Amino acid sequence: MTDKRVFLQKLLQEAKHFGATDADALMVSSTAVSVQVRNAHPEELERSETNIIGLRVFKDKRSATISTTDFDKKNITRLVEKANSMAKILPEDPYTGLPYPSAKPIVSPEQLDLYDPTEHPTSTMLEWAKEAESAALSVKGVSNSVGGSYAFCKKEITLANSKDFFGSYTHTNHSISACVLAGSGVDMQRDYDYHSAIYFEDLENPSEIGKNAGERAVAKLNPTKPKTGVFPVIFHPRVARSLIEHLANGVNGSSVTKGSSFLQDSMGKVIFPPSITVIDQPYKARGLGSIPFDSEGLFPETINLIKQGKLVNWLLDFRSAKQLGLNSNGHASRGVSSAPFPSPTNLYVMPSTHTPEELMQDIKEGIYVTELIGSSVNMLTGDYSRGASGFKIRNGTIAEPIVEFTLASNLIDMFSKLHVANDLEFRYHVNSPTIRIDDMSIAGD
Please provide residue 36's backbone torsions phi and psi, each rounded to the nearest 5 degrees.
-140, 140
- With residue 365 as reference, give the H or E element that holds it: strand 365-377
C-beta neighbour count of 398 within 10 angstroms: 18
Please provide residue 211's backbone torsions phi and psi, each rounded to the nearest 5 degrees.
-60, -45
Nearest to 134 by CA among 39, 35, 36: 39
State residue 103's pLDDT score: 76
State residue 349's pLDDT score: 98
Nearest to 210 by CA among 151, 282, 153, 131: 131
Are 206 and 174 in contact by the 8 Å Cβ rule? The answer is no
Q: Kind of pairing, strands 341-342 and 332-333?
A: antiparallel
Is residue 275 helix, strand or coil? coil
Q: pLDDT below 50 — which residues of the chain?
A: none
> What does the alpha-carbon distance between residue 221 and residue 226 come to, in Å, rounded to a whole number?
15
Are 96 and 62 in contact by the 8 Å Cβ rule? The answer is yes
State residue 2's pLDDT score: 59
Chain mean position to CA 399: 31
State residue 375's pLDDT score: 77
Are 179 and 255 in contact by the 8 Å Cβ rule? The answer is no
Q: Kind of pairing, strands 166-182 and 310-311?
A: unpaired
State residue 162's pLDDT score: 96
Report pTM. Answer: 0.95
State residue 374's pLDDT score: 84
State residue 186's pLDDT score: 82
